[in-house]
Amino acid sequence: MKQNRVFSALLTGCVMLGSLPLLTASAGNYTRVAVHDPSVVKTQDGSYFIIGSHLGAARSADLMNWTSAANSDRGSTGTTFFNNIYTDLAVPEKWSNTTDGYDLSGNMWAPDIIYNTAMGKYCMYLSVNGQVWNSSVVLCTADSIEGPYTYQGTIVYSGFTNNSVNNVNDTDVPKVLGHNPDISRYLTNGGWNAAYGTNAIDPAVFYDETGSLHMVYGSWFGGIYMLELDEQTGLRDYNVKYETKANVADAYMGQKIAGGNYVSGEGPYIEYMKAPGAEKGYYYLFLSYGYFNSNGGYNMRIFRSENPQGPYTDQNGNSAIYPSGADNIGGTTGERLMSNYQWACNDRPFKAQGHNSALMDDDGKLYVIYHTKFDDAYGFHEVRVHQLIMNDDGWITAAPYEYSGESLSDAGHTAAAVTGEYDFIFHTLNQKFENEKSADVEKPQSISLNADGTVSGAVTGTWAMRSGTPYMSITFNNVTYKGAFLVQADESAAMTQRMTFTATGNNTCVWGSKKAAYDRAADVVDLTPLENGTYTLQSVNSGLYLNTNAAQSAEQNTDAAVWTLKQTGDGYYTVQNAAGKALTVENGSADNGADILLADLNGGTAQKFRIVQEGEGVYALLTAASGSKGCADVYNISTEPGANICQWEYWGGDGQKYRIVPAKAAAGDVNADGQTDRADALALQRYLLTLETALPDPQAADVNGDGRLTGEDLTMLKRSLLQ
Name which of 147-156, 296-305, 484-493, 667-676 the model is least confident about: 667-676
Torsion-angle region of 696 (φ positive above 0: left; ψ -120 to 50: alpha; else: beta): alpha
Nearest to 236 by CA among 136, 325, 165, 304: 136
Half-sphere exposure of 296 (CA within 13 A, CB side): 24
What per-residue confidence (pLDDT) applies to 677?
58
The pLDDT of residue 138 is above 70: yes
Domain residue limits, the chain: 415-426+435-522, 526-662, 678-722
The C-alpha atoms of residue 612 and residue 517 are separated, in whole angstroms, by 21
Q: What is the pLDDT of residues 202-248, one digit of tens each?
A: 999 999 999 999 999 999 889 999 999 999 999 999 999 999 999 99
Q: What is the pLDDT of residues 476-517, one digit of tens each?
A: 999 999 999 999 999 999 999 999 999 999 999 999 999 999
The pLDDT of residue 584 is above 50: yes
What per-residue confidence (pLDDT) applies to 526?
65
CA 418 to mean position of chain CA atoms: 23
pLDDT band at 3 (very low <50, low <70, confident <90, very high): very low
Torsion-angle region of 515 (φ positive above 0: left; ψ -120 to 50: alpha; else: beta): alpha
pTM: 0.81
The answer to whether 371 and 381 have CB atoms below 8 angstroms apart is yes
What per-residue confidence (pLDDT) applies to 516?
98
The answer to whether 363 is a known catalytic residue is: no
What per-residue confidence (pLDDT) applies to 561?
87
Name which of 288-302, 438-452, 478-492, 496-510 the model is least confident about: 288-302
The answer to whether 542 and 634 have CB atoms below 8 angstroms apart is yes
What per-residue confidence (pLDDT) applies to 248?
95
Higher pLDDT, 263 or 325: 263
> What is the chain's mean pLDDT, rounded?
88
DSSP string for 495-556 = --EEEEEEEEETTEEEEEEESSPP-GGGG----SPPPSEEEEEEETTT--EE-TTSBEES--
Average pLDDT over residues 689-707: 50
Sign of the torsion angle spanned by Cα atoms 480, 481, 487, 492: negative
What per-residue confidence (pLDDT) applies to 118?
97
Higher pLDDT, 329 or 695: 329
What per-residue confidence (pLDDT) applies to 722?
45
Q: What is the pLDDT of residues 347-384, one digit of tens each?
A: 999 999 999 999 999 999 999 999 999 987 666 899 99
Q: Where are the beta strands (DSSP E) in 274-419?
A: 282-289, 299-305, 335-336, 351-360, 366-373, 381-390, 396-398
What per-residue confidence (pLDDT) applies to 613?
83
Q: What is the pLDDT of residues 708-723, one digit of tens each?
A: 555 556 555 555 544 4
CA 427 to mean position of chain CA atoms: 21
pLDDT band at 413 (very low <50, low <70, confident <90, very high): very high
CATH class of the 526-662 domain in this structure: mainly beta
Q: Where are the beta strands (DSSP E) in 533-628?
A: 533-539, 545-546, 552-553, 563-567, 573-576, 582-585, 596-599, 609-615, 618-623
The C-alpha atoms of residue 346 and residue 561 are separated, in whole angstroms, by 49
Nearest to 599 by CA among 628, 625, 629, 571: 625
The C-alpha atoms of residue 319 and residue 308 are separated, in whole angstroms, by 15
CA 295 to mean position of chain CA atoms: 28
pLDDT band at 706 (very low <50, low <70, confident <90, very high): low
Q: What is the pLDDT of residues 605-646, one digit of tens each?
A: 999 999 988 777 889 999 999 988 899 999 988 999 999 999
Beta-bridge mates of residue 482: 473, 504
Annotation: CATH topology of 415-426+435-522: Lipocalin (2.40.128)
What per-residue confidence (pLDDT) applies to 663?
85
What per-residue confidence (pLDDT) applies to 11?
30
Average pLDDT over residues 528-535: 87
Higher pLDDT, 421 or 661: 421
CA 166 to mean position of chain CA atoms: 43
Please state, for a pLDDT cut of 70, what percent of the chain lies above it: 86
The pLDDT of residue 177 is above 90: yes
Higher pLDDT, 662 or 513: 513
Helix (H, G, I), strand (E, B) or coil at 358: strand
DSSP string for 408-473 = --SS---HHHH-EEEEEEE--TT--EETTTEE--B--EEEEE-TTSEEEESS-EEEEE-TTSSEEE
What per-residue confidence (pLDDT) applies to 328?
58
The pLDDT of residue 657 is above 50: yes
Pairing of strands 445-449, 582-585: unpaired
Average pLDDT over residues 122-151: 97
What per-residue confidence (pLDDT) applies to 628?
86
The answer to whether 266 is a known catalytic residue is: yes
| Annotated catalytic residue within 37, 88, 146, 491 | 37
pLDDT band at 257 (very low <50, low <70, confident <90, very high): very high
The C-alpha atoms of residue 63 and residue 61 are separated, in whole angstroms, by 6
Average pLDDT over residues 251-269: 92
Tally of CB atoms within 10 A around 626: 22
What per-residue confidence (pLDDT) applies to 625?
95
The pLDDT of residue 707 is above 70: no
| Annotated catalytic residue within 146, 172, 202, 266 | 266
Please state, for a pLDDT cut of 90, what percent of the chain lies above it: 69
Give the chain's largest Cα–Cα span: 106
Higher pLDDT, 283 or 559: 283
Higher pLDDT, 650 or 445: 445
